[in-house]
Structure 1
Amino acid sequence: MRLRLFAPLVVLLVTSLPARAAVIVIGNYTDADIAFTIAEPDEKARSYKVLSNTVVPVFVTGPADIVFTTKGRETKLRLDMYSAYLFLPDPTADLRLEGLELPGNALDRDSRPEVNPVPRDPPVKIPVTMLVDDVDPRADELWQKELRKRFDEAADVIEKAAGVRFTLAGFDTWKSDPTAKNTSDLLDGLEKAVKAKEGALVLGYSSRKIDEKVDPAFGAARGLSGRHILIREWRPRSELERGEVLVHFLAQAIGGVGSPDPGSALRAKLGDRYAHRPGAVVRLDPLNALLLNLWADERRREPGVTFDSLTASNRVRMTRIYKALLKAAPGDPLAIAYLNELDRDVAKNPDPPLKRPDPPAKSTKRDEIMRKVVKAVTARAKLNSEAGASALVGDELTAAYIRTAAETAVRLRGPEMVSAVLIALGIALDETGTLADDATTAGAVKDIETTEERAERLAVLGNPTLGGRRDLCRRFFIGCAIGELLRDAAEDAAVGRALLDLHKPANLRVPVLAAELAGITFGRAMQQDVELLHDAHRKFTATDYLPPMKGLRDCLSAEKFGELYGDSSDARFLAVLADIRKRLKEMKAYK
């Protein structure tokens, strides 16, 4: 079978079409090209041919019928708008069309023809500036030619699948951080060095050497919440696979999330030689293609669209698709983050107004307490930094910070006290900015300290630990905060963060995940019994609040994790989570 990389996704055998509002995605997961027709009521059937191992969008104005032939006989099926279907081999019929199940109920309006179809031409344009860092050995003419070809091919894949056209805005260079230990550090440096314009992306390629055993990731980005993409040049080794990596990150930048589909550019494990297999096509999976078409529709309506300004109908549709993808790839951090953004009871109101109601007002009293707690911890840290030889370190320093936070919160009594101190500790004892960088929690913490106040805190924070480990301390208190901010979604977020660590220098550390789950449990216990805050004030010892860590594995690489636990939905990994929860339930502090 021939290799068709970046091949045309669909051949349309008619010349002109009316404006089409709704999208249906069809995948061909067979070894042969498939011809079919799509007919809407009172309209002439339109003919299509979809290539093997390809996923394509088809646009309609309402529910439509598909007709295809198998073993010389015609099969006619009704297709639902905003759904995805797969042609699959069938041992009996040779070929069958199967719909992908989406959780929840479809909108009533999706069963009726669109009254005012929205044109889909021209495609949504997103300008991209491409850079290489100061370590790249190539002459400008050479690297620009090579990366331009790669970019054009990847952009073509996205455009044909999603109706979004990435356009090259120009080339540039930047100085990457020579002390960077991983792709996250390189991304941080790119974001600081190069500003991205509203509605545009910055795509930086780095040739700086990173130990693959420390960080095997091919790149780093923040999905919809960021405007920068960092990709390591020269990895993977083949140009075909580098093109697939670029498709992966471009799709993530416009709303794509992880998929278990072994042929999707959004699968977790890239660089697996898939692109070199006979018949391989660099493509998206059906559900992500469906999602990106919805995001494209929203960008046609409002170029700067956010979760807050989504139309209510697409909010319902996206929620169903993200839930389906999260079910298929449990623990995906972007899917979790986006579902938290979309978390509203819209399914019970199938035809809501086009504008979302205003979000509930933030608790200004809680924010006031949080600011004072963080400032108090900073002041305590400054005193400690000036104490010379008598300065506290490690677990003792953490206990001092807890006492200071508790004292401050208790002086400002009120119903917001516990909530405020839990979130404030997540900010104050973390030097990495996890809560501020996470789209699901950033809104609640972004105004708690200024950039200058944060810099002052970090300069004097020292090295507070729990159980002698800085990482356990940091994640325990992040757990306290997300337990308060994300509530029922907190544990999924913690697991997703742990899985994301598979591609970071220290890899996945099960004790760190246990610490974050302990922080969530600690916060919930404190909400049930405020006396726990007073107990922590009087004495805070790691062994009182962290579960026993014996037997929990540390520093698991992606390969080792796969060997031991398969993936996040594997019974072996679920048993690890169950074991952690059991350990927490048996602790005196949480009974």
Structure 2
Amino acid sequence: MRHRLFAPLVVLLFAPHPARAAVVVIGNYTDAEIAFRIAEPNEKARAHKLPSNTVAPVYVTGPADITFTAKGRETKLRLDVYNAYLFLPDPVTTVRLEGLELPGPALERDARAEANPVPRDPPVKVPVTLLVDDADPRADKLWQAELRKRFDGAAGVIEKATSVRFMLAGFDTWKSDPGAQSTTDLLDGLEKAVPAKEGTLVVGYSSRKIDEKADPTFGVGRGLNGRHVLIREWKPRGETERGEVLVHFLAQALGGVGTPDPGSALREKLGNGYALYPGAVVRLDPLNALLLNLWADERRREPGANLSSLTVSNRARMTRLYKALLKAAPGDALALAYLNELDRDVAKIPDPPLKNPDRPPVKSNVRDEIVRKVVRAVTARAKLNAEAGASALKGDELTAAYVHAAADSAIRSRGPEMVSAFLIALGAALDETGALADDAATAGAVAGAETPEERKERIAVLGNPTLAGRRDLCRRFFLGCALGELLRDAAEDAAVGRALFDFHKPANLCFPALAAEFAGIAFARAAQQDVEMVHDVHRAFAAADYVPPMKGLRDCLSREKFEELYGDSSDARFLAVLTDIRKRLKEMKAYK
């Protein structure tokens, strides 16, 4: 998105028109209230006022004209339905209206008025049950009054932006696990303890103490795929920000995803003080508001609507919106997951088939959350080492420290996603080249592992971790770990392809590097079969235990020398080298 966002907010008094089918979302990111008129063909213009830095839907039957005043002159523009527009400050005209770019072509039918508009009155109703766990110290009357007030405020924000009305269905309590180590653990327990019907939502507040370093999040949900949300009570400290956290998870439950808009409740960094600014208003961003209006239409048709049940037209519209949001917030786990179903050409990595049919299924959104935590744990360990001065670890010892930190973080997250996340995170964290992110087959799994700023920070302090004294063996081993998890049976082919691509690099093709990558793949396969492998490397990690001996494997082969000695990738001489590497791995204790 090309716009900048501005700070002052005023209360939104912008009511949706009840009986129009299509929707346009308009945001005012200027410092003043803006008055404008919307006119549909053959209808009288309707007047609106939009306060500063607010976002609201306008319901129409089809393309319409908007008229507003800029520097004393009236400006008239055509609005396309199912699009978002922003009023922005302009140094020449004082204000301009700019449409947000959406990838791909719009539907042809959206250029015409709806023949049979769908009424939007009354709004779509979603029953919500509010709970606290048995660790909450308050009397029922007190916590119910506090949560009711918070819920009413959050539900009002959602309804103004989306025509979805969250309705309180009742209060309850549940027994949470005193040993839970993360919000995900608590959510798992809530889902087991409190069943929820299709089209409803359960919001559980927990007062259990969790290690802030291990899990600093305010809550967790499954997005569209879940009927439960777990939120930590008492965080953030202020009631206003707690209300914003609730809006965040209610919007996610309707299909909302991450955004870089610093004023949106769907931004990544909640609780940063934004909602406490004088005159601040909790709101959504334009693209998510547009998305949730589409989901409201789908819920009118089917209360349990999901990605697989979408109408053809809304499937196309939502694909454009999720693409735009993913471009604005690269790596957002929910946007990637939804696009993986809506458009598999965008999210390149569908979940691979399980080699071991007895292995429990891995939830990609849970796995991605753990990957991010593990990568951050490695970065934190790297910072400590960088600050150690003369006593800083180097080489293989540094690698062992990073593996220990990664394993320590991973095993705090119990469940089938732990091993998968550990393997992927190591591939991302121990590599400074971005190999996984640059490969279409693996990019989706690491897109949310870190922001560009976090990546720069990690690389700056990573140092020179090695295996068997070599940096390239370290990098390739852990890339192999990630490939073994993500590509399974195709992992070795990918490793061979990477080795052959090395002809373009100064070091040319190195069989030891290929052997290290095969070793990482073997490690992944072993860990998939036996979770104890992760606990083993948590206790101690040494190259000799997991990387085969390299004696006799040729290094730094130019293309000419490779072709002279081994022909090409299908030559028997080259295949014999691969067989030799596999044999060396099979003889190692870790992979027997």
Task: Please report the TM-score for the alignment, with normalisation by the length of structure 2.
Answer: 0.65
Per-residue deviation, 1:254: 0.4
| Mapped partners of 1:80, 1:74: distance in 2 | 20
Q: What is aligned with 2:518?
A: 544
2:445 to 493, 504, 510: 493
**Residue 424 (1) aligns with residue 351 (2):** no
Offset from partner CA, 1:322-375 (integer Å, 9 cap, x none): 0000000000000000001102689xxxxxxxxxxxxxxxxxxxxxxxxxxxxx
Q: What is aligned with 2:104?
A: 104
Per-residue deviation, 1:19: 2.5
Per-residue deviation, 1:495: 2.8
Alignment of 1:153-232 (within 5 A): 153-232=153-232
- Does the residue aligned with 2:102 lie in a helix, a strand or coil? coil
| Mapped partners of 1:34, 1:11: distance in 2 | 15
Partners of 2:70 and 2:93 within 8 A in 1: yes
| Mapped partners of 1:74, 1:242: distance in 2 | 42
Per-residue deviation, 1:193: 1.1
Q: How many residues align?
A: 425
- Does the residue aligned with 2:96 lie in a helix, a strand or coil? strand
Q: What is aligned with 1:289?
A: 289
Q: What is aligned with 1:274?
A: 274
| Mapped partners of 1:227, 1:259: distance in 2 | 22
Amino acid at match of 1:493: A
Per-residue deviation, 1:527: 5.9
Amino acid at match of 2:77: L
Q: What is aligned with 2:483?
A: 518
Offset from partner CA, 1:463-519 (integer Å, 9 cap, x none): xxx98886595347779xxxxxxx9564213333667xx9xxxxxx99998566433
Alignment of 1:60-139 (within 5 A): 60-139=60-139
Q: What is aligned with 2:420?
A: 474
Partners of 1:123 and 1:164 within 8 A in 2: yes
Q: What is aligned with 1:415?
A: none
**Residue 264 (1) aligns with residue 195 (2):** no
Q: Name whichever of 273-282 and 333-342 sits farther off.
A: 273-282
| Mapped partners of 1:264, 1:222: distance in 2 | 20
CA distance 1:312–1:42, change in 2 (3 Å): same
CA distance 1:345–1:335, change in 2 (3 Å): closer
Partners of 1:241 and 1:275 within 8 A in 2: yes
Partners of 2:334 and 2:365 within 8 A in 1: no
CA distance 1:262–1:345, change in 2 (3 Å): closer
Partners of 2:307 and 2:342 within 8 A in 1: yes
Computing the radius of gyration from Cα coordinates, the structure with the larger value is: 2
| Mapped partners of 2:221, 2:186: distance in 1 | 10
| Mapped partners of 1:190, 1:297: distance in 2 | 29
Partners of 1:518 and 1:545 within 8 A in 2: no
**Residue 10 (1) aligns with residue 22 (2):** no
| Mapped partners of 1:147, 1:165: distance in 2 | 17
Q: What is aligned with 1:325?
A: 325
User: Which residues of structure 1 form unaligned runs of 5+?
Assistant: 347-418, 440-465, 480-486, 503-508, 531-539, 550-587
| Mapped partners of 2:51, 2:135: distance in 1 | 41
User: Larger relative CO (CA 8 A, sep 6+): 1 or 2?
Assistant: 1
Alignment of 1:373-388 (within 5 A): none
Per-residue deviation, 1:197: 1.5
RMSD: 3.8
CA distance 1:230–1:542, change in 2 (3 Å): farther
Per-residue deviation, 1:544: 3.2
Amino acid at match of 1:546: G
Per-residue deviation, 1:31: 1.3
Partners of 1:2 and 1:279 within 8 A in 2: no
- Does the residue aligned with 1:151 lie in a helix, a strand or coil? helix
Per-residue deviation, 1:279: 3.2
CA distance 1:437–1:267, change in 2 (3 Å): closer
**Residue 35 (1) aligns with residue 35 (2):** yes
Alignment of 1:304-343 (within 5 A): 304-343=304-343
Per-residue deviation, 1:212: 1.4
Amino acid at match of 1:494: V
| Mapped partners of 2:166, 2:208: distance in 1 | 26
Partners of 2:28 and 2:54 within 8 A in 1: yes
Partners of 2:198 and 2:303 within 8 A in 1: no
| Mapped partners of 2:341, 2:170: distance in 1 | 33
| Mapped partners of 2:66, 2:365: distance in 1 | 47
Partners of 1:28 and 1:52 within 8 A in 2: yes
- Does the residue aligned with 1:546 lie in a helix, a strand or coil? helix
Per-residue deviation, 1:32: 1.0
CA distance 1:139–1:427, change in 2 (3 Å): same
Partners of 1:80 and 1:111 within 8 A in 2: yes
Partners of 1:38 and 1:45 within 8 A in 2: yes
Per-residue deviation, 1:529: 10
Per-residue deviation, 1:289: 0.1
CA distance 1:473–1:210, change in 2 (3 Å): closer
| Mapped partners of 2:37, 2:236: distance in 1 | 40
| Mapped partners of 1:333, 1:167: distance in 2 | 28
